[in-house]
């Protein structure tokens, strides 16, 4: 089998997606997600100009060799754009291999280790009352795990809370919006949110919370300690993770489980955090981390230290990534949980897929490959529109982590 063509499908049904389609001389094609929220065309150009010319004529079955060719052969290593491009090729090749062998990708990764993939939903509200209501709505929908985010009193806009009446989509078309943030007000508020949530939903529901990189290590330690009575499933991105030592400091003060890594793009970003067991869940995911090949190596390393996966799964990761993640999550032993932020009906129409949600878990069918496709004609009706993630500033105007 030979690769005879590879091309990008860039579309924006509700938000931007970049999809790589690799075609072979046997009529089988594979799909890979190449979406990097807010920097989509950088990855498209990297693939178009520097990767696709090298793919033509290659044997698509040589997945490991192609991964090494694209990683080591670029000379300049790692980074979100490079690893997202490599991921797109890698996932498309796993899709092709599954289709060529007539088997779902999870079978190529060791077969099922579980019958379904535990997922968590996004609940949010502009205040505690709305957040409680949203969590309860998701419990009624069958979720066993729910992330709760709330507006903070006297803070104009908090992370994870949609604008009135809209679903939560952080990327905004046009130039980046700017919002003001107050750590002090957030730190005084967050424990009240979870005290109320626990009293409303009881002990069994897994509650998660995303700090979104906004605290210093000692502030994160304080928050973790104050949230301990409400036994969260995890506290996510408590502090920026460029300095892994920051997580040692948090670990010294609190038992709260820690998740981080959605902004990582390589094993090496997580190496110290895993081997020192400074985190409990790794969020690094397939589309941003170099693909299935890279994540398998990383997850296996993490398993040795009893660190589990908790893949990022926001709407800016396409249904192709969701499908790949579900196959991966079904197979590996040290699976933790999968984020499930539902795509819109239009996005699901552009990317028909065989995965489904039921009673707190997601699963895939035994369709060969990833079990996901792209409706190119429909996609073409929604052309790319530049969009950015927001910028955050402290009340005194200092730029801070959004
Ligand atoms: C999450 C993430 C998202 C990111 C978004 C960036 O936990 O799902 O933090 O909300 O902000 O994916 O593109
Ligand atoms: Mg997050």
pTM: 0.98
Report which ligand 1 atom has the smallest distance to the Cα of 402: 11
Give the model confidence (pLDDT) of 212-254 as tens digits: 999 999 999 999 999 999 999 999 999 999 999 999 999 999 9
The residue among 98, 93, 94, 92 whose CA lies nearest residue 20 is 92
Give the model confidence (pLDDT) of 52-80 as tens digits: 999 999 999 999 999 999 999 999 999 99
Instruction: Report the percentage of the chain scoring pLDDT > 90.
Output: 96
- Hey, which of 177, 312, 322 would you mutate to test ligand 1's pocket, going by the most ligand atoms within 8 Å of its Cβ? 312
**The one catalytic residue among 106, 143, 159, 382:** 159
Bridge partners (DSSP) of residue 211 are none
Does pLDDT of 179 surpass 80? yes
HEC-encoded secondary structure of 109-121:
CCCCCCCCEEEEE
Does pLDDT of 137 surpass 80? yes
Q: Find how far residue 370's CA is from the centre of its chain.
A: 17
Please give the distance, rounded to the nearest whole angstrom, from the Cα atom of residue 160 to the centre of ligand 1: 8
Specify the pLDDT at position 156: 85
Query: Alpha-carbon torsion 56, 58, 62, 66, what sign?
Result: negative
Q: Tell me if residue 212 is catalytic.
A: yes
Report which ligand 1 atom has the smallest distance to the Cα of 236: 7
Q: Where are the domains of the chain?
A: 3-104, 108-368
Report which ligand 1 atom has the smallest distance to the Cα of 122: 8
397: left (phi over 0), alpha (psi -120 to 50) or beta: left
Whether CATH 3.30.390.10 fits 3-104: yes
Please give the CATH number for the structural domain made up of 108-368. 3.20.20.120
- Ligand 1 atom 12, closest CA: 314
Q: Tell me if residue 159 is catalytic.
A: yes
């Amino acid at each position: 089998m030979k690769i005879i063509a590879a091309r990008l499908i860039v579309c924006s049904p509700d938000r931007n997606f970049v999809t790589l389609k690799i075609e072979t001389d046997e009529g089988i094609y594979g799909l890979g997600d190449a979406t990097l929220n807010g920097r989509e065309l950088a990855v498209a150009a990297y693939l178009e100009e520097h990767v696709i010319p090298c793919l033509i004529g290659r044997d698509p079955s040589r997945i490991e060799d192609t991964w090494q060719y694209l990683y080591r052969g670029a000379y300049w290593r790692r980074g979100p754009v490079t690893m997202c491009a490599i991921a797109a090729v890698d996932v498309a090749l796993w899709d092709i291999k599954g289709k060529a062998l007539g088997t779902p990708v999870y079978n190529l990764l060791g077969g099922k280790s579980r019958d379904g993939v535990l997922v968590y939903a996004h609940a949010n509200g502009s205040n505690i009352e709305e957040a409680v209501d949203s969590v309860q709505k998701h419990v009624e929908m069958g979720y066993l795990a729910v992330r709760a985010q709330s507006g903070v009193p006297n803070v104009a806009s908090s992370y994870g809370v949609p604008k009135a009446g809209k679903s939560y989509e952080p990327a905004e078309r046009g130039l980046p919006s700017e919002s003001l943030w107050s750590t002090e007000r957030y730190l005084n508020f967050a424990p009240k949110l979870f005290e109320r949530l626990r009293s409303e939903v009881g002990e069994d529901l897994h509650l998660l919370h995303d700090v979104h990189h906004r605290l210093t290590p000692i502030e994160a330690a304080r928050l973790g300690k104050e949230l301990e009575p409400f036994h969260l499933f995890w506290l996510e991105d408590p502090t920026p993770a460029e300095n892994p030592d920051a997580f040692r400091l948090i670990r010294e003060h609190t038992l709260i489980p820690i998740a981080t890594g959605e902004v990582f793009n390589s094993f090496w970003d997580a190496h110290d955090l895993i081997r020192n067991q400074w985190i409990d869940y790794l969020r690094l995911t397939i589309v941003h981390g170099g693909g299935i090949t890279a994540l398998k190596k990383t997850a296996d390393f993490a398993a040795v230290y009893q660190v589990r996966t908790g893949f990022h799964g926001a709407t800016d990761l396409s249904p192709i990534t969701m499908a790949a993640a579900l196959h991966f999550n079904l197979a590996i032993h040290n699976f933790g949980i999968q984020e499930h932020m539902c795509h819109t009906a239009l996005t699901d129409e552009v990317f028909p897929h065989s995965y489904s949600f039921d009673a707190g878990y997601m699963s895939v069918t035994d369709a060969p490959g990833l079990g996901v496709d792209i409706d190119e004609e429909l996609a073409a009706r929604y052309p790319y529109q530049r969009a950015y993630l927001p910028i955050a500033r402290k009340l005194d105007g200092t730029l801070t982590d959004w």
